[in-house]
Amino acid sequence: MVIKRILPSYSKIRQRGVALITVMLIVALASIIAAQMTTRLQTQMQRSTNISFNQQAYWYALGAEAFTKRVLIKAFKDEPDVTHLEQIWATEGSNYPVDFGEISGEITDLQSCLNLNALHPEAKTKVESTKDTPASPKKTGTTAKAPKSASANDKQLPAATVLEALIVNLNIDGIGNFEAEAMVNALTDWLDGNDIITGSGGAEDNDYAAREFPYLAANSYLASVNELRLIEHFTPAVILALTPYVCVLPQNSQHFININTLDAEKPELLQALLGSSIEEAQEVLSARDSSGYEKVADFLKIEELTKIRLEKWQTAAFVIDSKYFKLKANARFNNSYFSMSSMMKVNDTQQIQVISRTIGRN
């Protein structure tokens, strides 16, 4: 009788233990699910907050763009025919505090650099660029040695001559006249619409299709200086050295350099434009007043140019006003950062048009 009473009691205890374990498992599972739901909710909330902060930083960057338009309009309202480094747009990068962040921006003249799209077949050749262009004043003194490619026929593009000379002037290790000419030929083939190789250093679809990761030549205008990384012969060292001196105007093959806004600390570009020595280019830039020249003729008459004999296609490249500018804007809102580059064009009515935007650091 005793044994019969003990066995049922033990069975009930075992069932209670199983039930307790089951309840604990359910509680643990519910806790895990609740923890995961809480984590996901926190992640979603943080993501929404980050998107909101990033969007505010984006609007701050657009505010910098709108402010730049006003600055340019004011500058060209006062001096509509001249662009120089004493105008308000040419101040160095400035920081402006705003609620929970700051905005910084810097404006640069895109006509103080060499437009790589000027090597496009639609660009004017040397003979075309000198039509209806007044001859430069008569020069006396010694004649500077012209770049190797300057002796090419008049059908050559002025920008091709300048780019080749610029690459040589930068004194990049292992880069000479032959390598510079090959780069210019490859860039020309990248821009033109045919499959005919230019010179000994040109490259067309077959050259790029044979690579490990094949692609084709653009056969169109460049969209960015970074596109040089895809073109034959252009090494990282060359691109890094060229970047401060060159730029890209979208769908535009013009070859105009504003003598008033050329950087005095980078005389190599002017050296390539003039076909002169580096010392002569430095002297020319040193002779420029802070407010620049009011006319191109005033620049061509300076004494420092008497040592250099310029061709008509060279003088045709110089201007004293600019139409294209670039804004590099950086905005911060709380812990969100936003970078944007805006390219702007000054229309004939002195209105500012944004022609491109690039998101991210460039």
Contact 280, 274 (CB under 8 A): yes
- SS3 string, the chain, reads CHHHHHHHHHHHHHHHHHHHHHHHHHHHHHHHHHHHHHHHHHHHHHHHHHHHHHHHHHHHHHHHHHHHHHHHHHHHHHCCCCCCCCCHHHCCCEEEEECCEEEEEEEEECCCCEEHHHHCCCCCCHHHHCCCCCCCCCCCCCCCCCCHHHHCCCCCCHHHHHHHHHHHHCCCCCCCHHHHHHHHHHHHHHHCCCCCCCCCCCCCHHHHHCCCCCCCCCCCCCCCHHHHHHCCCCCHHHHHHHCCCEECCCCCCCCCEECCCCCCCCCHHHHHHHCCCHHHHHHHHHCCCCCCCCCHHHHHCCHHHHHCCCCHHHHCCEECCCCEEEEEEEEEECCEEEEEEEEEEECCCCCEEEEEEEECCC
- For 120, other C-beta atoms within 10 Å of its C-beta total 22
Interatomic CA distance for residues 352 and 323, integer angstroms: 9
Q: Which residues of the chain have pLDDT under 70?
A: 1-15, 130-154, 362
Q: Given this model, what pLDDT does residue 93 score?
A: 72
Amino acid at 73: I
Q: Given this model, what pLDDT does residue 12 score?
A: 65
Residue 327 burial (10 A CB sphere; 0-12, 13-18, 19+): buried
Q: Given this model, what pLDDT does residue 146 score?
A: 43
Contact 321, 259 (CB under 8 A): no
- State the average pLDDT for the chain: 86
Question: Residue 248 is encoded by which pair of tokens?
Answer: 């890209």
Interatomic CA distance for residues 195 and 174, integer angstroms: 29
Q: What are the boundaries of each domain within the chain?
A: 51-110+324-359, 118-126+155-244
Q: Given this model, what pLDDT does residue 118 score?
A: 95
CATH superfamily of 118-126+155-244: EpsJ-like (1.10.40.60)
Domain 51-110+324-359, CATH number (from 3.40.1280.10, 3.20.20.70, 3.40.50.880, 3.30.1300.30): 3.30.1300.30
Residue 34 burial (10 A CB sphere; 0-12, 13-18, 19+): exposed
Question: Residue 181 is encoded by which pair of tokens?
Answer: 């000419």
Q: Given this model, what pLDDT does residue 144 score?
A: 40
Interatomic CA distance for residues 216 and 214, integer angstroms: 7
Q: Given this model, what pLDDT does residue 155 score?
A: 75
User: For the chain, how far is it from start to end, CA to CA, in angstroms?
Assistant: 92
Interatomic CA distance for residues 170 and 166, integer angstroms: 6
pLDDT in tens, 2-38: 445 555 565 666 667 777 788 888 888 888 888 888 8
Q: Work out whether strand 318-319 and strand 114-115 pair parallel, antiparallel, or are unpaired.
A: unpaired
Question: Residue 243 is encoded by which pair of tokens?
Answer: 């970047």
pTM of the model: 0.80
